Amino acid sequence: MNDARFNVVNRSTIMQLRALILVLAAILAIFSTTLVSGHEGESTDGLTNFQILLISIVISACIYFLVSRFIEEREYRPSPLVFTLVTFTGSVHILLGLSDYLLLIGGVGVIGILGLSLIVNLSPLRDKIARLGLGLVVAIMFVAYFVSNHDLHYIIEDYLGIITKLAELSIIILITRERKQIANNSQEE
């Protein structure tokens, strides 16, 4: 009996180690890629869009795993998918914000608002305010992208921007759905 339990625990540990090795290998691959520049081969000091995308995906996947596995669900907590999407858009903005403080403020803002729901047990009213604030910040980031980028050709080629804006649009939709679901549950009681 003990051998079977040890075998299951051992397999679980081995799978977790494999996952950790895979994540570390992905991070190493991201940081070892060469940085490119459009100015006759000059190297850049920042991360490329591809590196930012991969780093953000890895961070978001880890957050999804942690939130769905280890964080208990509360009535007023956003879903793991919202946590994941907010982490993705926040990490993209933080990494891009290393050279533009407005992007840094947006990234820290969305992650900070969402992190508040992890740290503090919010009442229904405060949760409603936090969700409204999160939705407002994400909506501002969504609109600001299109206001600051007037060139349609640039927007079409900006895969990082398009993916991030799709994530932000999904956040807004999910927050709206969750809010409606909470309102319907409150009316039924």
pLDDT number for residue 150 = 75
More confident residue, 30 or 155: 155
Give me the percent of the chain exceeding a pLDDT of 70. 71
pTM above 0.75, yes or no: no
Among 58-62, 116-120, 185-189, name the one with the lowest average pLDDT: 185-189
Q: When comparing pLDDT for 127 and 84, which is higher?
A: 84
Q: What is the overall mean pLDDT for the chain?
A: 78
**For 10-35, what is the mean pLDDT?**
58
pLDDT at position 94 is 93
Dihedral sign for Cα atoms in the order 109, 157, 39, 27: positive
Q: φ, ψ for residue 7 (rounded to 5)?
A: -65, -40
